[in-house]
Chain A
Amino acid sequence: AQKVTQAQTEISVVEKEDVTLDCVYETRDTTYYLFWYKQPPSGELVFLIRRNSFDEQNEISGRYSWNFQKSTSSFNFTITASQVVDSAVYFCALNWYSGGSNYKLTFGKGTLLTVNP
């Protein structure tokens, strides 16, 4: 079965600190896609990154970086020099083939990040 685990329910940091959000996934598929989304209080999901299972290269985008390791089934997300505007719930998700012509997206439970000034 497909599963995404975000063990950190809540994290609180002070502005300018670095913070890493953990994500561990389970799947038997060889082809799958991993995502990170940000959900601010408004509720709208903001797409951050997509990674396919064949691309283990780490990625950096500004203050954001992602570490994908298939050996440990992890896809961790680091925010460098955090800012108050980074405060939100962050979801890790796994897109997997569910049969027919469909893929399904399974979300982790989310991590609430609070960045204090």
Chain B
Amino acid sequence: GAVVSQHPSRVICKSGTSVKIECRSLDFQATTMFWYRQFPKQSLMLMATSNEGSKATYEQGVEKDKFLINHASLTLSTLTVTSAHPEDSSFYICSAEIAGTQETQYFGPGTRLLVL
């Protein structure tokens, strides 16, 4: 139980294009989802907290106009990297909390983004 999927698992795009990453909770409802970014050989850094039906809360230093987050349903959150640049190349990981609980986040398998 508590499976989270991400799509795509890997994406290569040209600089200036936008990329959308989907995060789905497959067997539970998630009122809260999280987006993390991990650069090579570094730790996971929280980018934003996404609550279903409301605007995402972004961490300090994360550009909300560049990283658009939509959490339109209890099982789906999307992260769109707009006008991607090579410095946005990273490993993006989402996680989700089971609705009504807060102690544990269940992580997706991650999406590797390479911007050329």
Q: How many residues in B have their beta carbons less than 8 Å from beta carbons of A?
A: 24
Q: B93 an interface residue at 8 Å Cβ cutoff? A: yes
Instruction: Assess whether B104 is in contact with A33, with CB atoms less than 8 Å apart.
Output: yes
Chain B contact residues: helix, strand, loop or mixed: strand
Interface positions of A from 90 to 117, Cβ below 8 Å from B: 91, 95, 101-110
A26 to B73, CA, bound (A): 35
> Number of residue pairs across A and B with beta carbons under 8 Å?
55
Q: From the candidates B32, B43, B104, name the one contacting A109 in the complex (CB within 8 A).
A: B43
Which A residues fall within an 8 A CB radius of B? 33, 35, 37, 42-45, 47, 50, 52, 91, 95, 101-110
Knowing A44-B110, A105-B34, the reply to whether A50 touches B103 (Cβ < 8 A) is yes
Instruction: Assess whether A104 is in contact with B43, with CB atoms less than 8 Å apart.
Output: no
Instruction: Assess whether B91 is in contact with A43, with CB atoms less than 8 Å apart.
Output: yes
User: Which chain A residues border B8 with CB–CB below 8 Å?
Assistant: none
